[in-house]
Amino acid sequence: MSKIIGHEDNINAIRALIKKHKKNDRIFSYIGLFVIGSLAIALLVLFLDLVIDGYPKMNLEFFSNFPSRKPEGAGILSAWVGSALVLIVTFFVAVPMGVASGIYLEEYAKKGWFADLIEINVANLAGVPSIIYGLLALGLFVYEFGLGQSILTAGLTLSLLMLPIVIVATREAIRAIPVHIREAAYAVGATKWQVTLHHVLQYAMGGVLTGIIIGMARAIGETAPVITIGALTFIAFLPPTPVSDVAPFINFAWLEAGFTVLPIQMFNWISRPEHAFHINAAATGAVIIILTLLMNGIAIKLRYSIRKKIKW
Amino acid sequence: MARKEILKAESKNFNFHYADGTHALKDINIPLYEKKITALIGPSGCGKSTFLRSFNRMHDLYAGNKYDGEIILHPDDTNILDKKVDPIEVRMRISMVFQKPNPFPKSIYENVAYGLRVRGEHNKRLLDDKVEEALKGASLWNEVKDRLQDLAYNLSGGQQQRLCIARALATDPEIMLFDEPTSALDPIATVNIEELMSELKKKLTILIVTHNMQQAARISDYTAYMYLGEMIEFDETDTIFTKPSKKATEDYITGKFG
């Protein structure tokens, strides 16, 4: 357009121009709504389908029964206990290592080619297919370290998957802390460790927690690496209990026990020919989705409530 | 100079290079007199903030920056730029107030007490006393004494800046650095801070960077005019603003330039 608008007699031209530009706003918002709507509907349909199919099994007995050859009596007791115990190991391994790595890379590591190399590697780790981690764990944890096809091995394997998520989340949360807050702490004479402990870690906590929970939610649904290291598919016993009523009240025998996890139980039931087992599989799928959504919900809530307390 | 002043610190042939090679400060020689306010003025980018931040080794936080020459702190004649001198030691003796109020996202109390906490002070009674003393010293006590546990960001901008002054004051520094402390504040808050600085100089030495020449004229005892990384003129503030010896200084002060 070569004509310059802006004179009073051109007011109609201005209005026409604004109208034309605003049309683009509208078109984009329709496209966005359509895309996000179809995604939400797809998830909802999937979820509802699982819930409807699995509805007959959605009762307390399903959670308190072991798997069985008879589909009516079969439950997910060993699977959810296995998942829970594996996640406990994953949590205690991946969180300290991931947060410490994130802090080191962001606060302590000298910027240079070595830091860049680590950075690229961490970013790539997040994209490695999970079955590769399974193979690594099979070779390293099961055979090399002789940890066996145990809860410990599974927990370590899933923590490998979770580590890059925690590291990246920690680093991003740390980067969001403004320079002037950091300088304020240094200016009163704090050491790097004091700044990290009293400020960086505290202000980054919201983002770190979110990363941890999203990582855990990913770990709970992982199947391939757990199959690779040799999780059992049919298991009718529980691992030794981690807490006991005699001193020292905690034992670690459960770490060496065989196990199964929710997605493997589901996979096992799907591959059965009888329809009744498919109902069990659907119910298990619904449980996994609910757990995942619940964890994501907690992550969002935590982030929100922590952010509310921190303003720069 | 008619009066006999006690020298608190002085920069001697001080040069500063940023990591990218910029020669930001060239042979700067400026004395700081005890219990006086020294103002640094000059156009943006002249190096006055860089100079100020050298006094508590803030440049050490970023790799590749290089100091040459000396900044001697009296009476112990320590060269605070010496690599053997820990920057933390320097920051424990020389505190700083920044351009933008930067309280921690913690309570008012914790903000003021933080400098003592990093020094390992845990005695509750002593901390309470020090916090009260510092808040009184920053003339903020009456406004916040009933809500010390409130988060600091609930305060107004001017109050936040006085909180930052209290935080810097709580550790009994020998010198306080102010980096354009009022540039983010409204005129009333600015007057408060200026009055506060005149009060503070009874106890300690102050170095302030300001963009506001009236501010320099109002509060400082000595003024240094800097331009393109060089110190053009240093003298008593009255002299600088009434009969500067250099034409460049006069041009800047009278608004012909800058």
The C-alpha of B104 sits at a distance from chain A's nearest C-alpha, in angstroms, of: 6
Q: Which among B214, B215, B247 has a CA at the least distance from the CA of B233?
A: B247
Q: Which among A4, A22, A23, A25 has a CA at the least distance from the CA of A13?
A: A4
Does A71 have pLDDT greater than 90? no
Q: Which tens digit of pLDDT belongs to each residue from A23-42?
A: 999 999 999 999 999 999 99
Which positions 104-133 of B are in contact with A (Cβ < 8 Å)?
A: 104-105, 114-115, 117-119
The C-alpha of A206 sits at a distance from chain B's nearest C-alpha, in angstroms, of: 14
Task: Report residue B214 as tokens.
Answer: 């009236």
How is B130-188 classified by DSSP, letter by letter? HHHHHHHHTT-HHHHTT-TTSBGGGS-HHHHHHHHHHHHHTT--SEEEEESTTTTS-HH
Does B80 have pLDDT greater than 60? yes
Task: Please give the average per-residue pLDDT across A60-74, as a whole number.
Answer: 86
CA distance A254 to A86: 10
Position A312 scores a pLDDT of 72
- 0.85 surpassed by complex ipTM: yes
B96 strand-pairing partners: B177
Task: Please give the average per-residue pLDDT across A214-231, as a whole number.
Answer: 88
Task: Please give the average per-residue pLDDT across A195-209, as a whole number.
Answer: 93
Position A230 scores a pLDDT of 81
How many CB atoms lie under 10 A from the CB of residue B31?
18
Task: Please give the average per-residue pLDDT across A138-158, as a whole number.
Answer: 91
Split at pLDDT 50, 70, 90, the class of A8 is low
CB under 8 Å to B2, separation ≥6 — which residues?
none
Position A42 scores a pLDDT of 95
Which residues does chain A have within 8 Å of residue B171's beta carbon, measured at their own beta carbons?
188-189
Task: Report residue B116 as tokens.
Answer: 């003592």
What is the CB-side half-sphere exposure of residue B83 using CA atoms within 13 A? 4
Does B35 have pLDDT greater than 90? yes
Does A306 have pLDDT greater than 90? no
Task: Please give the average per-residue pLDDT across A143-167, as a whole number.
Answer: 91
Contact (CB<8Å) A185/B104: yes
A308 contact B CB<8A: no
Position A67 scores a pLDDT of 86
Split at pLDDT 50, 70, 90, the class of A3 is low
Task: Report residue B229 as tokens.
Answer: 């990384």
Q: How many helices (H) and strands (E) would you count in chain B?
A: 10, 10
B91 contact A CB<8A: yes
CB under 8 Å to B189, separation ≥6 — which residues?
B156, B157, B158, B161, B182
Contact (CB<8Å) B61/A183: yes
Q: What is the mean pLDDT of chain A?
A: 88
Task: Report residue A138 as tokens.
Answer: 């099979």
Does A302 have pLDDT greater than 90? no
Q: Is residue B1 part of a domain?
A: no
The C-alpha of B237 sits at a distance from chain A's nearest C-alpha, in angstroms, of: 28
pTM (2 d.p.): 0.84
Task: Report residue B75 as tokens.
Answer: 């009476």
CA distance B91 to B73: 12
Segment among A55-64, A153-162, B216-225 with least mean pLDDT: A55-64
Per CATH, the number for A59-309 is: 1.10.3720.10
By percentage, how much of chain A surpasses pLDDT 90?
Answer: 49
The C-alpha of B167 sits at a distance from chain A's nearest C-alpha, in angstroms, of: 8
The C-alpha of B97 sits at a distance from chain A's nearest C-alpha, in angstroms, of: 8
Residue A66 to residues A74, A180, A233, A254, B65, Cα–Cα distance (Å): 6, 57, 12, 18, 66
CA distance B175 to B54: 13
CB under 8 Å to B41, separation ≥6 — which residues?
B48, B210, B211, B213, B216, B223, B224, B225, B226, B252
Strands (E) across chain B are located at 7-17, 23-33, 37-41, 66-73, 78-79, 94-97, 175-179, 205-209, 222-227, 230-236
Position A91 scores a pLDDT of 95
Q: Which tens digit of pLDDT belongs to each residue from B61-73?
A: 998 899 999 999 9
Q: Which domain range does residue B212 map to?
A: 7-103+175-253
Taking each helix axis as running N to C, give the angle between helix A275-309 and helix A11-54, from 0 to 180 degrees, rounded to the nearest 10: 130
Q: Is residue B75 part of a domain?
A: yes
Position B28 scores a pLDDT of 94
Segment among A85-94, A238-247, A254-263 with least mean pLDDT: A238-247
Q: How many helices (H) and strands (E) would you count in chain A?
A: 12, 0
Split at pLDDT 50, 70, 90, the class of A309 is confident
Position A299 scores a pLDDT of 87
Does B2 have pLDDT greater than 70? no
Q: Please tell me the total count of domains within chain B.
A: 1
Contact (CB<8Å) B92/A183: no
Split at pLDDT 50, 70, 90, the class of A7 is low
B92 contact A CB<8A: yes
Does B232 have pLDDT greater than 80? yes
Provide the b/e sequence for A173-195 (b: ≥16 CB within 10 Å): bbeebeeebbbbbbbbbbeeebb
Which residues does chain A have within 8 Å of residue B98's beta carbon, measured at their own beta carbons?
180, 183-184, 187
Q: Is residue B144 part of a domain?
A: no
Task: Report residue B225 as tokens.
Answer: 């005019």
For residue B175, report the phi and psi dihedrals to the nearest 5 degrees: -130, 140
Does B3 have pLDDT greater than 80? no
Residue recorded with tokens 């496209």: A31
Burial class (CB in 10 A: 0-12, 13-18, 19+), B248: middle
Q: Is residue B168 part of a domain?
A: no
Which of the two residues, B234 and A256, has the higher pLDDT score? B234
Task: Report residue A299 as tokens.
Answer: 């992550």
Is A264 strand, coil or helix?
Answer: helix
B162 contact A CB<8A: no
Instruction: Give the ranges where A127-270 is alpha helix by DSSP (H).
Output: 130-137, 151-175, 179-187, 192-195, 201-221, 224-228, 262-270
Q: Tell me the longest C-alpha to C-alpha distance in chain A.
A: 92
Q: Is residue B131 part of a domain?
A: no
Task: Report residue A9 as tokens.
Answer: 């007699």
Closest partner CB to A183 (pick from B58, B103, B153): B58
Q: What is the CATH number of the domain that holds B249?
A: 3.40.50.300
